[in-house]
Amino acid sequence: MMSSAGSSRDPADPASSGHGASPQGASPYRASAPESSGQADSRPRNRRAMLLAAAAIALMSLNLRPAANALDAVIPAIRDDLGLTATVAGLLNATPGFCFVVFGLAAPAVGARIGVQRTIVISLVAMVAGQLLRVAVPAVGFVFAGSILALAGMAMGNVLLPGLVRTLFPRHVPTITAMYTFCMLGGAAAASGLTVPIARSVDGDWRAGMGSWALLAALALIPWIALLVSNRNDSRSKRPGTIQLRTLIRNPVAWSMAVLFAMQSMQAYVVTGWLSQILVDAGLDLAIAGSAVAVFVAAGLPLAAVMPPLARRQRRIPPLIVGLGASYLVGYTGLILWPAQGAWAWAVLIGMGAGMFPLMLMMITLRARTLAGLTALSAFAQCTGYTMAMIGPFVFGFLHDLTGGWTVSILTMMASVVVMVVAGLHAARPRMLEDHTPTP
């Protein structure tokens, strides 16, 4: 486990406080300092270096969803072109969740072994190569292999980025977290909405649309390589310590974050997968029903920008959690009672509830004192959470088949929102992961 270092200590800073809890209402990032010499030396030292690091994080964030969302957008075209059965197409659709879990769990160990910034560069190379591979050869095996390679890079970036934000910008964590969350959601929306139009503007082939996102990953490589070249300290001799993920199995902080992550991710999976069908069954045209999904995504973007700064003070987090949960519940209630009459209004309210996602990412940085703890918590919460969340769309559809309507399915999601709020309030307690983790 990493040791703390630094001459200046702020009692309100979880990275430097021996007790790990900031005073109620205090900003925990007022004067934080990384806790190992190797990481302290990697901080940007001037305005140009800070701009380079911010650009690197922003471009990496833009690439944390397109490899998956572009695949979802063209699955029908891939099925028609390659003659995939529904079963094989389902397996292809399941690869993002599988990769998020498997490669996300491996990210802390790889980052500790070769350096976090090097791992990010390798992840981006994998994204570029994988997205090109799956469109270069017209064979099912290459589509699967390329997707797994690209999604592996994406999964590792998901886990490592919160720690990098705290390492590179220890005094600006809320601001940079807001930026990278906004970019992440923006990249997701762009990949979902633009992949098919890009394909049609070129030659109508799905390969052009899906492969075009490799250019964005290649662009992100430029500042990361420059950052790595200018920073010689991200090396084997000064790598961060690690916390074994198995030691978190009985850690209450890790589990509260994992359950929070699972319930929030479940909302996103279900809404993006089923909202349009619910509205079509309520009598709306498919185009209008599909636009409601876009409204749901767009409604969360402003909150991605404001939620991390709002959460910088401990006392604000519990009311934010309750408010976001209430937004979900009102939106779902409207979807049960008046689905067609207020479709966009319900989509906006549910999308506002999805502001829990940037809040969760900010909370991860607040619940660990060391970089090793932050990375381990990020891996455990995301991978465990995604594993639990993947059952949501299946159960939602199963309950519809069982009851012949959507009411029971939506009520089940409302119950999961209550679980999410309870887990969130538990995770919001000012405790540190390391205080509940055995010291090797």
The closest alpha carbon to 195, from 211, 182, 184, belongs to 211
pLDDT digits (tens, 9 = 90+) for 58-92: 999 999 999 988 887 788 788 888 888 877 887 88
Q: Which two tokens stand for residue 160?
A: 């490592």
* Helix, coil or strand: residue 316: helix
Q: Which helix (H) or strand (E) holds 122?
A: helix 116-136
Domains of the chain, each with CATH number or no CATH: 35-242 (1.20.1250.20), 245-435 (1.20.1250.20)
Percentage of the chain modeled with pLDDT above 70:
86
The closest alpha carbon to 97, from 87, 86, 105, belongs to 105
Residues 53, 165 contacting (CB under 8 angstroms): no
Burial 20-43 (b: 16+ CB within 10 A, else e): bbbeeebbbbebbbbbbebbbebb
Q: Give pLDDT, residue 42.
A: 52
The closest alpha carbon to 283, from 365, 324, 340, belongs to 340
Please list, in sequence order, all residues whose beta carbon lies within 8 angstroms of the beta carbon of residue 45, skipping any fewer than 6 positions away. none
- Top pLDDT among 282 and 237 is at 282
Residues 257, 360 contacting (CB under 8 angstroms): yes
Per-residue pLDDT averaged across 385-399, rounded?
88
Q: Give pLDDT, residue 148.
A: 95
The closest alpha carbon to 239, from 417, 393, 119, belongs to 119
Q: Which two tokens stand for residue 281?
A: 């069954």
Q: Give pLDDT, residue 44.
A: 62
* Helix, coil or strand: residue 84: coil
Q: Give pLDDT, residue 198.
A: 87
Helices (H), 316-370: 317-337, 343-353, 356-366
Taking each continuous run of H as one helix and of E as one strand, the counts in the chain are 17, 0
On the question of pLDDT at 192 being above 70, the answer is: yes
Alpha-carbon 301 to chain mean position: 13
On the question of pLDDT at 14 being above 50, the answer is: no
Percentage of the chain modeled with pLDDT above 90:
46
Residues 307, 368 contacting (CB under 8 angstroms): no
Task: Please tell me the pTM assigned to this model.
Answer: 0.80
Chain position carrying tokens 């929070």: 260
Q: Which two tokens stand for residue 253?
A: 């902080």
Q: Give pLDDT, residue 439.
A: 53
pLDDT digits (tens, 9 = 90+) for 135-176: 998 789 999 999 999 999 999 999 999 988 988 898 889 999
d(CA 41, CA 239): 12
Q: Give pLDDT, residue 260.
A: 96
Residues 108, 376 contacting (CB under 8 angstroms): yes
What is the CB neighbour count within 10 angstroms for residue 229?
8
Out of 47-51, 91-95, 330-334, which region has the weakest mean confidence (pLDDT)?
Answer: 91-95
What is the CB neighbour count within 10 angstroms for residue 139?
11
Residues 54, 35 contacting (CB under 8 angstroms): no
On the question of pLDDT at 234 being above 60, the answer is: no
Give, to the nearest 10 degrees, the angle between helix 343-353 and helix 286-310. 30
Q: Which two tokens stand for residue 53?
A: 């690091």
DSSP states along 134-150: HHHS-SHHHHHHHHHHH
Q: How confident is the model at residue 297 (pLDDT cuts 50, 70, 90)?
A: confident
